[in-house]
Amino acid sequence: MSNANTSPPPGSGSAGGFLSSNPLLVLIFQRILLGFVLLFAISALLFVGIEILPGDFAQAYLGQSATPEAVANIRKELGLDAPLLQRYLGWLGGVLQGDFGTSWANKVSVSEQIGKRLGNTLFLAFWAAVVSVPLAIGLGMIAVHYRNRFIDRLINIVSLAAISLPEFFTGYLLILFFAVNWGVAVFPATVFADMAFTDRLAAIVLPCATLVLVVLAHMMRMTRAAILNIMSSAYIETAELKGMNAFRIIAKHAAPNAIAPIINVVALNLAYLVVGVVVVEVIFVYPGMGQYLVDAVTIRDMPVVQACGLVFAAVYIILNMVADVLGILANPRLRHPK
């Protein structure tokens, strides 16, 4: 009786076999899959949550004196008379094709409006990140270098004061001093996209400063804590015994090994810079996603509210996924398992 070789030939393994031999890729794949599942769940919750809110767009659009027939006609025109599940699946199908529908209020494509507004929001968030991330990491390293001394205590007190103030209060203080009293700051305009690059930078100074003050303290304190945790390691003590410069030890030996928690906190705060701009944009009348969302909520323009909510959720989830993946890649014990 012949022996049949039942083992699979080399190279015939599927993606499952490849992933099983690469635990690092398994972790990354799980994070990405979880992100997409979470985004799908948020889209459903967002649609249903907006549906159960009190009030009716058709009634608000036509006014209190509108007849029931007129309200019914508007609801039929907007497709509001269809079952909830049918409307959700239709909306989700459009979103997957990049179509967020049409604004009920002005009959303009929501996707086109979001494209312009999101660009303005990302412009503001980008420059806030350019200022806050290096400043936070640098201050965290300085605080570690002078730990438990006057400079460390001063940085901690100032950061605690900054993080304790709500962003609307910080924004109004900056407006009071720099725009009202001293007249050295300008405000964004509704024609923001048509402004020259230098004028756009000048227009975002105050909202950018507000966002920097909001996220700086958290990133700085987490950077300080992560580096201090590494400073108790044996190789750091060996470097100190060899007489190496203290700040060089922090910058070249401690900080790179503390990169995983630093990446996580930076990514979370970058997500906040994009998602948490609603209050700042309203205060400074900034033509971004936050202002667009607030205006849509005011007039109950549901396609705009749903689109803005989903975009904000997607940005937050994607940046969290990036933080998870970078944290995995930055962890040597996961890169080189024994």
Residue 337's pLDDT is 57
Measured CA to CA, the distance from residue 207 to residue 192 in angstroms comes to 14
Quick one: pLDDT at residue 130?
A: 93
Q: What's residue 17's pLDDT? A: 55
Contacts of 231 (CB under 8 A, 6+ apart): 144, 250, 254
User: Residue 55: what pLDDT?
Assistant: 67
Chunked into runs of 10 residues, the chain (338 residues) has average pLDDT values of 50 51 77 89 88 70 72 78 86 89 84 87 91 91 88 88 85 85 66 74 88 88 87 79 80 79 83 84 87 84 89 88 78 61
Q: What was the pLDDT predicted at 12?
A: 47
Neighbours of 80 (CB within 10 A): 18
pLDDT at 38 (0 to 100): 92
What is the pLDDT at residue 35?
A: 87
Q: What pLDDT is attached to residue 135?
A: 92
The confidence score (pLDDT) of residue 37 equals 92
pTM, two decimal places: 0.79
pLDDT for position 233: 79
pLDDT at position 277: 83
Can you give the pLDDT at residue 286?
87
Helices in the chain by DSSP H: which ranges? 15-20, 23-51, 57-62, 68-78, 84-96, 110-145, 150-164, 167-174, 197-203, 205-231, 234-241, 246-249, 255-257, 259-275, 278-283, 289-298, 302-330, 332-335
Residue by residue, DSSP assigns 244-258 as --HHHHIIIIIHHHT
